[in-house]
Structure 1
Amino acid sequence: MKKWYAVIGNPIEHSLSPLMHNTWMTVEERDAAYLPLHVLPENLEQAFTGMKVLGISGFNITIPHKETILPLLDELDPLAKKMGAVNTVVRLENGQYKGYNTDGLGFVKSLEDAVGTQHKNKRLLIIGAGGASRGICFALVQEGYTNIAIANRTVSKAQAICNELDTNAEALSLDEAATQLGEFDIIVQTTSAGLNHSEFALPLSLENLSKTAIVADIVYNPLMTPFLAQSKEKGATVVTGLGMFIHQGALAYSYWTDVYPKAAVVEDVLLANLGGNK
């Protein structure tokens, strides 16, 4: 029987996940398909029941269902449980459904893909204290990054994440982070600043940014956000959000198929869709 996978969310028409996963499946000649499913919050449980009845082998989850799916699942991966959010679900051999979160690990893989693995002892600043920041922080610590500071408009939210991490992390205000910016080797922008429809382009001033810094943004549309563009102008090495998107998807794909697909296979396809260059 042909296997099928999906991404569920509200809205869903903007998602590039179907393009990415179907490209991998086509290249690998898998008898499988990946569909976008528009699921309203009030219909989540009913939709999940229907998906199970129809034998779905696995699916991705985007806004606003990453937290509300938790009580509907049979099992959670430890990292997903710690993060309190799931973006990937796998049907196990016993027919039960297990939740994972590949967002944070996808970011770490994209960072190391771009700049190598030799920066784990460097000073690292995370800008933002939302769900994306939380997931990235947990994944960074899990992968051996220990010198972390988190900056947020509401410092108490940054401190709350620091308190949960298995390392000594520091909470800063955005003004404090901007003042100290030159002391950080890696800066990771996790807020919605720079999205095509966001109200603000920069979360903090880049005046004190070091030209030797590595600057990453998790936003991939636009590919070159204002934050990355200004960082590049100052001489910093920049890492776009496309790599995180590809690697979080590749991790999900590997959980479903036991094969980690090649990022390069989908990179050009996604770049063409986004109208940008690497």
Structure 2
Amino acid sequence: MENKITGINGPITGWLDGHTYLIGLMAYPIRHSMSPTMHNNAFAKLGLNYAYLCFEVGNDKLEGAVNAIRTLDMRGSNVSMPNKKEVIKYLDKLSPASKMCDAVNTIVNDNGVLTGYTTDGIGFVQALKDENISVKDKVMTLTGAGGAATPIAVQSALDGVKEIRIFNIKDNKWPQAEKNVKTIRENTDCKVSLTDLADKDAFKKSIAESDIYCDATGVGMKPLEDMTLVEDPSWFHKDMVVFDTVYAPRTTKLMKVAQKAGVEHVFNGIGMMIEQGAAAFKLWTGKDMPTDYIRQIMFEDENK
């Protein structure tokens, strides 16, 4: 007998019975996550017998939680902060991108063998593909070296971007930025550089020469929603892509500056968020997530 649970936006999960596959999300804190809404609605839409649940797990409980994936025969799990690096020691295999990023956000359980993947960079590249934009042979200026910036840099390099110019402040992420440069140089043909964000002349020149500018920092997100790393619209040119990984607020200050400059392709992080989830969904189920449907039910008010 059909067992659907219906919410405000329609079905939020599919079949729940003795054969339901469990998928988790392990992070701390995590109760605010939109991932359960995204995945459970996608399962329901396709009639798949899966359920996606959040588990508040930090580094101290991570080993036991990962072992539970095998013990309970879960299909897998997402992993978020503070566990993306720590989880690696408990896994059996890593995807090439995860090795390069030294981070995992998705675990797949194949008969007790746990493989770690990172789908954030895939989400970025696919979000642009959805807009008929390819990163191949492009020059990109990228700000940041954290949990979003690292996989964006790595996946873009793997997918053929010609050059990545990384800018970051000399904070605790600087060593990671240096590592990203080294890893990309050793594993791809992409030309990559790192510059202190304090060098505003170099930053301005780089953006002017780039096809893509991506801000993968937290600037523009609460409590920094009134800030942007680029204040002057004249830094941008209309034919480029300006991509802000922040999606709340829907229109960030960076996006407003780019729009004022007449930039034709200005995006927030909604597409990336959905597509990174879709990549994990495909790894677990072998099916394509119904992304248009998910965007509609999760972000139907994005233009308001």
TM-score (norm 2): 0.84
Aligned residues: 274
The equivalent residue for 1:228 is 255
1:213 pairs with 2:240: yes
- The answer on whether the counterparts of 1:124 and 1:186 sit within 8 Å (CA) in structure 2 is yes
CA displacement at 1:159 relative to structure 2: 4.4
Instruction: Give the root-mean-square deviation of aligned CA atoms.
Output: 1.9
TM-score (norm 1): 0.92
Supply the AA of the counterpart residue of 2:204. Answer: A
- For structure 2, the residue ranges without an aligned partner over 5 or more in a row are 1-18
Higher relative contact order (CA closer than 8 Å, sequence separation 6+): 1
Map Cα deviations across residues 168-194 of structure 1 (whole Å, 9 max, x no partner).
212233212124422222100100101
1:37 pairs with 2:55: yes
The equivalent residue for 1:71 is 89
Larger Rg: 2
Pair 199,228 (structure 1): closer, same or farther in 2 beyond 3 Å? closer
The equivalent residue for 1:142 is 158
Paired-residue identity, %: 31
- For structure 1, the residue ranges without an aligned partner over 5 or more in a row are none
Supply the AA of the counterpart residue of 1:128. Answer: G
- The answer on whether the counterparts of 1:191 and 1:203 sit within 8 Å (CA) in structure 2 is no
- Cα distance in structure 1, aligned partners of 2:66 and 2:182: 34
Q: Secondary structure at the match of 1:69?
A: helix
- The answer on whether the counterparts of 1:90 and 1:99 sit within 8 Å (CA) in structure 2 is yes
- Cα distance in structure 1, aligned partners of 2:132 and 2:68: 43
CA displacement at 1:199 relative to structure 2: 7.7
The equivalent residue for 2:203 is 177
Supply the AA of the counterpart residue of 2:180. Answer: I
My pick for the range that moved more, 168-177 or 230-239, is 168-177
- Cα distance in structure 1, aligned partners of 2:72 and 2:130: 37
- The answer on whether the counterparts of 2:213 and 2:241 sit within 8 Å (CA) in structure 1 is yes
Q: Choose the corresponding residue for 2:221, options 164, 180, 195.
A: 195
Supply the AA of the counterpart residue of 1:214. Answer: V
- Cα distance in structure 1, aligned partners of 2:226 and 2:79: 26
The equivalent residue for 2:144 is 128
1:168 pairs with 2:204: no
Q: Secondary structure at the match of 1:105?
A: helix
Where has structure 1 moved over 6 Å in runs of 4 or more? none
CA displacement at 1:22 relative to structure 2: 0.5
